[in-house]
Amino acid sequence: MAHCLLKTHQLSWRVNQHPIIHHIDFSIHSGETVGIVGPNGAGKTSFLKCLYGEILNFTGSVTLKNKSILQLKRKALAKQIAVVSQTHSSVFNLTVFDIVRMGLIPHKNMFDTDSQADFVHLEKALKQVDLFHKKEQTFSSLSGGEQQRLLIARAIVQSPELLIMDEPTNHLDIFYQHQILSLAKKLGITLLMTIHDLNLAAQYCDRLVLMHEGEIVADDTPEKVLTPELLKAVFKLDCDVDLHPRLNVPRVTFSGDLA
Amino acid sequence: MTLIKNITFRNPIIYYGGFFLLCCLSFVYSFGVGVSEIGFSEVWLCVSQQCSSVIYETILWQVRLPRVILGFIAGFGLAVAGALMQNVTRNPLADPYLFGIVAGAGLGATVASLLPEAFHYFSIPFAAFFGALFAVVVVLGVVVRNNWRRVEHLLLAGVAVSFLLSSLTNFILYTGDAFSTNRVIFWLMGSLARADQTVLWIIVPVVLVSSCIAILWSRQLDALLLSDESARTLGVQVAKLRILVLLLCAAMTAVIVAYCGGIGFVGLMIPHIVRALIGITTAKLIVGSGLVGGCFLIWVDVVARSALDGQEIPIGVITSAVGSVFFLLLMRKM
């Protein structure tokens, strides 16, 4: 099996004595695509924040290639983990080019300028997400899907080993939801994301982690995680699960009857 | 292969060239203007070492040259500090005076004006500088103690400290004698009349070195424009970087205010003009703001010296007047 990239042991985080995530043991291996699912307030985003160094006052351990992330410098961490988090807003209107260029930051020292190779790299990343023709447009003039694609392009430039995405399909229509996820998956980078839509999760992820009240309830293949019993316990709704006739992945339909 | 670099932007080089040319013209023009009118031919003769009279030579080299350079560098420094403050707080209303720097300098100057008059040449700028520094330390102290929970805390703490220090100044002025009150009030309105070589030796290095340091960090500063979290995931040490930049702004503003008094609105409005023309990323903004700010203050000083016959208008009055009108126009677009 591929080597273990990121691992947590007994990871907990509290706010004012109130536990947000609780004793989480989790690992992700290189090449995997893992989706974290669960209801609002399950601690999915907080869990991710512990992994990419935004939350540091956790207990337990988070190790990246056997090294505690608390011992890694921000720059070293940024070379290995890229993050596409929930929507940003900027008062000043950055252009598409300004934002994709930010991906170079972890790889540059104070006196380094952008080389010809860097510009080729930026151009390639923008073409990969189909935004090259919009490089001079401002961030706020892009649609939600384009903004997400741009942040993915920035992550491509960052060239990490692990890409973490927090709700990448939020507020996007069905076309963009699939576009973003298939784009992310095609990059060939280890991928960890939170996602609300269980059917999308089943379709794009090799493994699903089901969270509930700050704990991991199930961590396995989509077929084993998306069962009516588990989903009913977590989402408090009755549901039916069958196999998608063409894709051969689980398909969840909630009936709307409150359990 | 068409490289992205060549086709990406309104080319800033054209703008820089234009601004630089404008600065040079402003320099030359402002030499000729003042209480004693010196024609361009005379200026040219003096520049080429053939001055027709010693008085002209003295006026040009001892009075006008330091004054024009001081105007340029003060405008440069204030505009750069404003640009940095706005980018680093992601707040378009941020301004170098936000830390209570002017209020602190005012308090320092007021206290110094209570000393015997013989000391004033040295004591007022020194006291103003330390007053400004005191204000910055208080504001940063409050914010750092609060763990930088929100960047708005910086702005709020600055406003609060400003009011506190101004009220102390007003109290001292109210109870003090009318003569020194007068002097302090005029000082607060801003003037470039204190320009001489010693002053330039202090201000020029501080402004240029601070600007260069900021340019070296410009990549990281750009990352701050999106959000703190986004900057951290790109490997930027946000809190440290922000303190570094705030200290640079404080140093520039404090030395400028100490010698030139209160020159408002330059730091607020110049970066907005430059953003519209050149772009908002830090390196471009710093160079552009510096050149435009320097140029602007040279012209303000030309107006200050020549608008009223035989009398100077305090430049702070002109910058604030122009600044507030500009600001009202800007608000229509916001």
Residue scoring higher pLDDT (B97 or B108): B108
Looking at chain B, which residue has its C-alpha nearest residue A51? B233
Q: Is B224 on the interface with A (CB under 8 A)?
A: no
Q: Which residues of A touch B280 (CB under 8 A)?
A: 92-94, 98
What's the complex ipTM? 0.90
Q: Does B167 touch chain A (CB under 8 A)?
A: no
| Residues whose CB is less than 8 angstroms from the CB of residue A37 and which lie 6 or more positions away in sequence, other chains included | A44, A194, A195, A196, A198, A201, A208, A209, A210, A211, A225
- Is pLDDT of A27 > 70? yes
Determine contact: B225 vs chain A, CB below 8 A. Answer: yes
More confident residue, A246 or B125: A246
According to DSSP, residue A139 is labeled: G
Residues of chain A contacting B, Cβ within 8 Å? 52-54, 73-79, 81-83, 85, 88, 90-95, 97-99, 101-106, 108, 110-111, 114, 116, 119-120, 122-123, 126, 132, 135-136, 158
What per-residue confidence (pLDDT) applies to B155? Answer: 82
Q: What is the pLDDT confidence band of residue B25, given thresholds at 50, 70 and 90? A: confident
Mean predicted confidence (pLDDT) in B27-33: 78
Closest CB from B1, B229, B234 relative to A106: B234
**Residue A189: pLDDT band with limits 50, 70, 90:** very high
- pTM for the predicted model, two decimal places: 0.88
Q: Which of B219, B232, B275 sits opposite A92 (nearest CB)?
A: B275
Residues of B in contact with A95 (CB under 8 A): 279
Q: What is the mean pLDDT of residues A208-215?
A: 95
Q: How far apart (Å, rounded) are the C-alpha atoms in residues A95 and A140?
A: 9
B191 touches chain A (CB under 8 A): no
Q: What residues of A are in contact with residue B222 (Cβ under 8 Å)?
A: 94, 98, 101-102
* CATH class of the region B37-333: mainly alpha
First to last CA, chain A: 40
Nearest CA in chain A to B6: A119
Cα separation, B164 vs B77, in Å, equals 26
CB B45 within 8 A of CB B52: yes
Q: For residues B102 and B61, what is the distance between their CA atoms, to the nearest angstrom?
A: 30
Distance from CA of A200 to the nearest CA of B (A): 26
Contacts of B39 by beta carbon, 8 Å cutoff, 6+ apart: B32
pLDDT at B5 exceeding the cut of 60: no
Closest chain B residue to A136, measured at CA: B8
Report the gap between the CA of B266 and the closest CA in chain A (Å).
19
- Predicted pLDDT at B11: 66
Q: How far is A78 from chain B (nearest CA, A)?
A: 5
Mean pLDDT of A108-130: 90
In the predicted structure, residue A43 carries a pLDDT above the cut 50: yes
Mean pLDDT over B82-106 rounds to 86
Strand boundaries in B120-208, DSSP class E: none
- Is pLDDT at B99 greater than 80 in this prediction? no
User: How many helices (H) and strands (E) in chain B?
Assistant: 16, 0
What number is the average pLDDT over the span A49-65?
A: 94
Given this model, what pLDDT does residue A107 score?
A: 94
**Domain coordinates in residue numbering, chain B:** 37-333
Q: What angle do CA A100, A141, A175 make, to 5 degrees?
A: 85
Question: Which of the two residues, B48 and A185, has the higher pLDDT score?
Answer: A185
Task: Examine the pLDDT at B143 and tell me if it is beyond 50.
Answer: yes
Q: From CA A71, how far away is CA A64, in angstroms rounded?
A: 10
Mark yes or no for CB contact B3/A75 under 8 Å: no
Cβ of B8 within 8 Å of Cβ of A52? The answer is no
Strand partners, B44: none
B260-281: average pLDDT: 86
Core vs surface per residue A58-87: b (16+ CB within 10 A) or e: bebebbbeeeebeebebbebbbbbbbbbee
Backbone angles phi, psi at A13, to 5 degrees: -145, 130
Nearest by CB to B281, from A91, A98, A108: name it.
A98
Least confident of A229-233, A247-251, B31-35, B106-110: B31-35
Q: Which of A69, A84, A91 to mutate to test the interface with B (most CBs of B within 10 A)?
A: A91
Q: What is the mean pLDDT of residues A212-241?
A: 94
Write down the pLDDT at residue B4: 45
Cβ(A96)–Cβ(A123) under 8 Å? Answer: no
Distance CA B267, CA B225 (A): 18
3 state DSSP class of B198: helix
Q: How far is the C-alpha of B177 from the C-alpha of B180, rounded, in Å? A: 6
Strand partners, A215: A212
Q: Tally C-beta pairs within 8 A across A and B.
A: 95
pLDDT on residue A29: 95
The answer to whether the Cβ–Cβ distance between A53 and B233 falls below 8 Å is: yes
Please compute the mean of the pLDDT values over residues A17-31 and round it to a whole number.
94
pLDDT tens by residue, B53-92: 777 778 778 888 899 999 999 999 999 999 999 998 888 8
**pLDDT for B285 beyond 70:** yes
Residues in A closer than 8 angstroms to B90, CB to CB, are 90-92
CA distance B136 to B124: 18
How much is the mean pLDDT over chain B? 84
Task: From chain B, pick out residues whose CB is under 8 angstroms from the CB of A91.
Answer: 90-92
Q: Does B222 touch chain A (CB under 8 A)?
A: yes
Task: Indicate if the pLDDT at residue B96 is higher than 90.
Answer: no
pLDDT at A87: 62
Q: Is the dihedral of CA A61, A62, A64, A70 positive or negative?
A: negative
Cβ atoms within 10 Å, residue A124: 14
Q: What is the pLDDT of residue B32?
A: 73
Distance, in Å, from the CA atom of A21 to the CA atom of A12, rounded to the nearest integer, reads: 5
pLDDT confidence tier of residue B36, bands split at 50, 70 and 90? low
* C-alpha closest to that of B169 among B155, B191, B192, B187: B187
Q: What is the pLDDT of residue B288?
A: 93
pLDDT of B187: 79
pLDDT of amino acid B217: 94
As a whole number, mean pLDDT of residues B116-123 equals 71
* Chain A residues lying within 8 Å of B232, measured CB to CB: 53-54, 74
The residue with greater pLDDT, B204 or B62, is B204
pLDDT of B209-256, one tens digit each? 999 999 999 999 999 998 889 999 999 999 889 889 988 998 898 889
Comparing CA positions, the residue from B223, B224, B234 lying closest to residue A73 is: B234
> Which has the higher per-residue pLDDT, A120 or B56?
A120
Model confidence over B229-238: pLDDT tens digits?
Answer: 999 999 999 9
pLDDT of residue A259: 58
Residue ranges and CATH numbers for the domains of chain A are 4-258 (3.40.50.300)
3-state helix, strand, coil in chain B (%, to 5): 80, 0, 20
The pLDDT value recorded for residue B118 is: 65
A68 three-class SS:
strand
pLDDT of residue B254: 86
Alpha helices in B9-64 (DSSP H): 12-32, 40-47, 54-58
Residue whose pair of structure tokens reads 């471009």 in the numeric block: B284
| Cα dist from B20 to B16, B25, B209, B296, whole Å | 6, 9, 19, 12
Residue B2 clears pLDDT 50, i.e. is over it: no
Average the pLDDT over each of A53-62, A79-88, A97-106 and give the range with the smallest value: A79-88
